[in-house]
With several copies, the nearest count.
Chain A
Amino acid sequence: MSGIRVENIEKLFGKAKVLTGVSLEIRDQEFVVLLGPSGCGKTTLLRIIAGLEYADKGQVWIGDREVSTLPPRSRKIAMVFQNYAIFPHLTVLENIAFGLRMQKASAERVKAQVDRAATLMHIENLLQRYPAQLSGGQRQRVAVGRALAVEPEVLLMDEPLSNLDALLRLEMRAELKRLLAESRTTTLYVTHDQVEAMSLADRIAVMNVGQLVQYDEPIRVYQEPTNTFVGGFIGSPPMNFLRLRVEGGQARIESLMLSLPTSPPGQEVLLGVRPEDLEAYSQQQPQSFPAEVRVVEPLGPHLLLTLTYEQQSLKATVPPDFNISPGQTLWLKPQPGRLCWLDPTSGQALSR
């Protein structure tokens, strides 16, 4: 096992730059998720690390070997594809054994490794089947088993859960997390699903238009986004951004004054606050501001409110038994430790 290091990767498709100088380091045994909207270049970066595509500039290191120009077979990686890419003309057993046979492994080693992978993935009883006889979830297990059977230094996964239905995805997500925590393989995992990223990652690398915009632990990416893109992309509903006036080094919402970490460049500042970090009260409270309720959506574990404060729309969540209807005014108290401050022109977070 070993880490991955990519340096200054640039990639052009025709005249379009899909990666504009990406550097990223993944520690040994770490589980890193590459997260971003479709077209942000995350899959291209993964394929460059796998050797399925070649960067126009920059280097790729796996462990302490530079592999930038090596073909995929020499990089000691394994990859799980979105469509699983199980060989349809081979049995599950031969699929899992494929990489070992290519290495000319001994019959005992093949058997031992296939058994180990099959046990890990709970597919011992499917070994003699052909892929056409498997369900989507079973194919997914075979694909992961085949990747782990070769004991790769690095495991690369390209949206492996996106072809499963919602319920199965939830199950497999937890199982994958347990499994990879056990096998301790260095893993780079690509997804556009922010819940998946939050759930699985040791660290999340958020990408947007060919660049890395934030690289941190899930909870910090969630609570301290570096810009409005990250705050708006992660979380459902996304982070609220309220444009407030700055008065005497503090931000003002009605009578409520909030102190800022640094003085912002302009006369206004953006307050970033998650819907669950706005406590709602029917009566006026100290440290709160009023907002009018427009829509009330009961979602089960909570109510999702859409409110307006001075023509700005914002969302808040309240307990399911909260008694409220559209047109009423609520008093919202932002939780002090959970606020972000951003520059409204650049969208970047103010330094703390």
Chain B
Amino acid sequence: MFSLNTRAIYVLASLLALWVIVPIFLIATLAFSDRSSVFAWPKGIFPQHFSLQTIGFFFGVEGVGRAIRNSLVVASLTLLFSVLLGAPAGYALARYRFAGADVYRVLILMTRAFPLAILAIPLAVQFIHLGLYDTPLGVALVHTALALPFAVLVTSSLFLGIPKELEEVAWTLGCNRVQAFVKVVLPLALPGLAATAIFAFVISWNEVFAATLLTLRERTLPAFLLGALNDSPLPFRFAGGFLLIVPALIFIFSVRRYLFTLWGIANR
């Protein structure tokens, strides 16, 4: 009976994992197939004809290079702002319990249900007044606003996982507060901060709504793709989709071991 349940669970878990993995795999293989496979239906499981034809075609389209450059600039700025603003806030949240902490966590959970991007509309009006409309800096500011709650949440989990006593014992052993932070907290937090930074980068890289609304010529990659979507051929779509996933994939595979620790910390 127990073993039956165990088996059912493994089946279930596999299904759930496939749920996420299959579409990614599909997109990735189609991006590296030749044109005929892209149009074939139903599709085979493995890329039948490995080819750089599709991806090559994609890079040849006018505006793609510029969109990628814009996306890189915006995502890097978002990364920078998120860590510089998010880490101190997360540290403060972790070290001092206060009445609003739980409210704050719930609010962040809720952002998933919130059409935050739609709030970019009033922003667009103001950006025109401030001269930030259609600039990477403007988009990066909005992306920072989107990524910041996550950065604060993740870094506060991170700092919560570093016992306060480690700092306190450093104080009793002759450190002032800055020395204790630099010598004890920072070395322990570094990998987590790196993960947070990449996470902010990925959020910005994939954000499409605000980027579309706030730019006209200086489009980021997803905004460019969205604009070109309806009148572009299937191979173009697959190659574009693949490029959008790449940073997230790199992110997950480079920090996968660390993520488990992070998740463990977040659950304390």
Q: Which residues of A contact B (CB under 8 A)?
A: 50-54, 71-73, 75, 77-79, 81-83, 85, 87-89, 98-99, 102-103, 146, 150
- Given the complex, which residues of B lie within 8 Å of A83, measured CB to CB? 163, 165
In-complex Cβ contact of B168 among A52, A89, A98, A146 (8 A)? A52
In-complex Cβ contact of A98 among B1, B2, B170 (8 A)? B170
- Given the complex, which residues of A lie within 8 Å of B170, measured CB to CB? 87, 98
Do most interface residues of chain B lie in helix, strand or loop, or is the interface mixed? helix
Bound complex: CA A81 to CA B165 (Å) = 7
Contact present for B173 and A50 (CB under 8 Å): no
Instruction: Tell me whether B100 is interfacial, beta carbon within 8 Å.
Output: no
Contact present for B171 and A85 (CB under 8 Å): no
Contact present for A81 and B168 (CB under 8 Å): yes
Those of B141-178 within 8 Å (CB) of chain A: 163, 165-166, 168-176
- Given the complex, which residues of B lie within 8 Å of A50, measured CB to CB? 168, 172
Instruction: Tell me whether B184 is interfacial, beta carbon within 8 Å.
Output: yes
Contact present for B174 and A73 (CB under 8 Å): yes
In-complex Cβ contact of A77 among B166, B172, B188 (8 A)? B172
- Given the complex, which residues of B lie within 8 Å of A77, measured CB to CB? 172
Contact present for B174 and A102 (CB under 8 Å): yes
Bound complex: CA A189 to CA B194 (Å) = 40
Contact present for B188 and A88 (CB under 8 Å): yes
Bound complex: CA A78 to CA B174 (Å) = 10
Bound complex: CA A122 to CA B168 (Å) = 26
In-complex Cβ contact of A81 among B169, B175, B179, B184 (8 A)? B169
Separation in Å of the B260 CB from the closest CB of chain A? 16
Q: Could you pull out 23 A-B pairs where Cβ atoms are within 8 angstroms?
A: A52-B171, A72-B171, A73-B172, A73-B173, A73-B175, A73-B176, A77-B172, A78-B172, A79-B169, A81-B165, A81-B168, A82-B165, A83-B165, A85-B165, A85-B169, A98-B170, A98-B173, A99-B173, A102-B175, A146-B169, A146-B173, A150-B173, A150-B174
Separation in Å of the B254 CB from the closest CB of chain A? 21
Q: Name the residue on B nearest A78 (C-beta).
A: B172
The 7 closest A-B pairs by CB, nearest first: A102-B174, A99-B173, A85-B165, A72-B171, A85-B169, A81-B165, A72-B172
Contact present for A89 and B187 (CB under 8 Å): yes
Known A71-B171, A85-B165; 4 more pairs at CB < 8 Å: A85-B163, A85-B166, A99-B174, A150-B174
Bound complex: CA A88 to CA B189 (Å) = 12
Separation in Å of the B163 CB from the closest CB of chain A? 6
Separation in Å of the A192 CB from the closest CB of chain B? 18
Bound complex: CA A82 to CA B187 (Å) = 23
- Given the complex, which residues of A lie within 8 Å of B173, measured CB to CB? 73, 78, 98-99, 102, 146, 150
Bound complex: CA A77 to CA B168 (Å) = 12
Separation in Å of the B171 CB from the closest CB of chain A? 4
Bound complex: CA A120 to CA B173 (Å) = 20
- Given the complex, which residues of A lie within 8 Å of B184, measured CB to CB? 87
Separation in Å of the A340 CB from the closest CB of chain B? 40
- Given the complex, which residues of A lie within 8 Å of B163, measured CB to CB? 83, 85
Contacts A83-B163, A89-B188 known; A71 to B176 CB distance under 8 Å? Answer: yes
Contact with A along B172-212 (1 / 0, CB 8 A): 11111001000010011000000000000000000000000
Bound complex: CA A47 to CA B142 (Å) = 44
Contact present for A85 and B176 (CB under 8 Å): no
Q: Name the residue on B nearest A80 (C-beta).
A: B169
- Given the complex, which residues of A lie within 8 Å of B176, measured CB to CB? 71, 73
Bound complex: CA A313 to CA B187 (Å) = 43
Bound complex: CA A98 to CA B179 (Å) = 12
Contact present for A79 and B172 (CB under 8 Å): yes
Q: Name the residue on A nearest B184 (C-beta).
A: A87
Bound complex: CA A88 to CA B75 (Å) = 33
Contact present for B188 and A103 (CB under 8 Å): no
- Given the complex, which residues of B lie within 8 Å of A146, measured CB to CB? 169, 173
Q: Name the residue on A nearest B173 (C-beta).
A: A99
In-complex Cβ contact of A87 among B2, B166, B171, B179 (8 A)? B166
Q: Name the residue on B nearest A156 (C-beta).
A: B172
Bound complex: CA A103 to CA B175 (Å) = 9
Q: Name the residue on A nearest B188 (C-beta).
A: A89
